[in-house]
């Protein structure tokens, strides 16, 4: 986003009941099952969901105790937890097919450590990390508030709050903010579409949601009432996988920075941490967040690239968007090289990624979340490099 002038910028979010997010949740459920049984399992699980049908596919290498039957059982529990007990998609009645098979030996030989060879990246690719000072979590504001609106609705629905009675799991949000000289100053429009029970009227749903939306935004940021669009099609009864097919990895902009920063193109859910699509994107966010948290810049983009089977990154690039406070980006890259080992193994060990920690990341974004020391989740959101970065730049 620009740092001068006046402009509008929009980001969207989707709830855990959106078909693509149902697929992400199931894929990460499969991953966590394997990592619980063996922290060094290899998993690349893709999920398809549609009307009363779930298909699991992909490649795995892990203990035989994680059977197809067990994974199908966990899939049903995941669907139940999301809240689907509808005729067209029901946790008890959906047909589940498991087509996971053994990981390719050719991929494995490139990734596995052997002799003097360190563990290699699970694929080639580019990954990006980003942070900015727009919100307390150092995330782009449009995405931050789009997530927050849906999280609050979901929490109320799960708590059986009467304020959202009749609302169902599938939902989307979209927040457009006005920027002046690079700073967000208020919302110009908000869109929320939420699945609901038969018989609820559009005006009633708007009345229910308006206070939730307004309280999710900073004081004075609420858009005009004629720019608040709630269920703009009028009815949204048929939803979830019954209304639209869902696939793993189809919401990668929602998962990252809402379009405010570049994306390398790789999805996260269902992939174990040897896949740099996931682990290196986490590492890049971790580094970028620490740079901004240390006060070295107001914005930071980091790019890192890999080749399959090669342990060291091929390139590391920083862009502080002109907001660096007397920080040379070349020096920054050298300082980070001394603080964080960006090899696949180094990332896994530094961020403690070989654990069953991924289901919580499958909805409402992988970034801008609160680390949980007890659960070991969202370790890439820690700011434990701040003191060393400040010392390195004399702050």
Binding residues for L-methionine: 59, 103, 244, 275
In 120-257, the DSSP E strands lie at 125-132, 167-180, 183-196, 228-230, 246-247
Q: What residues have CB less than 8 Å from 207, skipping those under 6 apart?
A: none
Q: Which residues are documented as binding site for Mg(2+)?
A: 20
Distance CA 320, CA 340 (A): 19
266 neighbors 364 (Cβ within 8 angstroms)? no
Give SS3 for 213: helix
Q: How far apart are CA 250 and CA 267, in angstroms?
A: 8
Residue numbers belonging to the annotated binding site for K(+): 46
Dihedral sign from CA coordinates of 326, 327, 328, 334: positive
CA distances from residue 50 to 18, 22, 68, 240, 255 in whole angstroms, order as listed:
11, 10, 20, 8, 21
H or E, element range at 98: strand 95-102
- Binding-site annotation, residues for ATP: 18, 170-172, 244, 250-251, 267, 271
Binding residues: 18, 20, 46, 59, 103, 170-172, 244, 250-251, 267, 271, 275
| Beta-carbon-side half-sphere exposure of residue 56 (alpha carbons within 13 Å) | 32
């Amino acid at each position: 986003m620009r740092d001068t002038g006046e402009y509008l910028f929009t980001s969207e979010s989707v709830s855990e009941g959106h078909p693509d997010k149902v697929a992400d949740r199931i894929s990460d459920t499969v991953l966590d099952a394997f990592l619980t049984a063996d922290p060094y399992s290899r998993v690349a699980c893709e999920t398809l969901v549609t009307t009363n049908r779930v298909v699991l596919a992909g490649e795995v290498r892990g203990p035989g105790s994680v059977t197809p039957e067990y994974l199908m059982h966990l899939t049903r529990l995941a669907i139940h937890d999301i809240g689907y007990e509808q005729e067209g998609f029901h946790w008890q009645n959906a047909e589940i097919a498991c087509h996971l098979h053994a990981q390719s030996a050719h991929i494995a030989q490139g990734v596995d450590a052997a002799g003097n060879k360190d563990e290699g990246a699970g694929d080639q690719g580019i990954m990006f990390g980003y942070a900015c000072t727009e919100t307390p979590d150092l995330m782009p504001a449009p995405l931050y508030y789009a997530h927050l609106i849906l999280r609050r609705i979901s929490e109320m629905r799960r708590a059986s709050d009467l304020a959202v009675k009749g609302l169902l799991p599938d939902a989307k949000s979209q927040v457009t903010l006005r920027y002046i000289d690079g700073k967000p100053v208020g919302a110009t429009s908000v869109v929320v579409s939420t699945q609901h029970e038969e018989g609820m009227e559009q005006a009633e749903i708007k009345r229910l949601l308006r206070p939730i939306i307004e309280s999710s935004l900073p004081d004075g940021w609420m858009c005009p009432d004629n720019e608040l669009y709630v269920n703009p099609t009028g009815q949204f009864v048929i939803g979830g996988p019954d209304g639209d097919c869902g696939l793993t990895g189809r919401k990668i902009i929602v998962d990252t920075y809402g379009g405010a920063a570049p994306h390398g193109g790789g999805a996260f859910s269902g992939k174990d941490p040897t896949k740099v699509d996931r682990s290196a994107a986490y590492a890049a966010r971790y580094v970028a967040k620490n740079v901004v948290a240390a006060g070295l810049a107001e914005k930071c983009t980091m790019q890192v690239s890999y080749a399959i089977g090669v342990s060291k990154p091929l390139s590391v690039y920083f862009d502080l968007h002109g907001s660096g406070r007397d920080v040379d980006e070349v020096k920054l890259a050298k300082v980070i090289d001394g603080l964080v080992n960006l090899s696949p193994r180094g990332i896994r060990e530094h961020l403690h990624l070989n654990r069953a920690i991924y289901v919580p990341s499958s909805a409402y974004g992988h970034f801008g979340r609160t680390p949980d020391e007890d659960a070991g989740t969202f370790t890439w959101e820690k700011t434990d490099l701040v003191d060393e970065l400040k010392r390195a730049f004399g702050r």
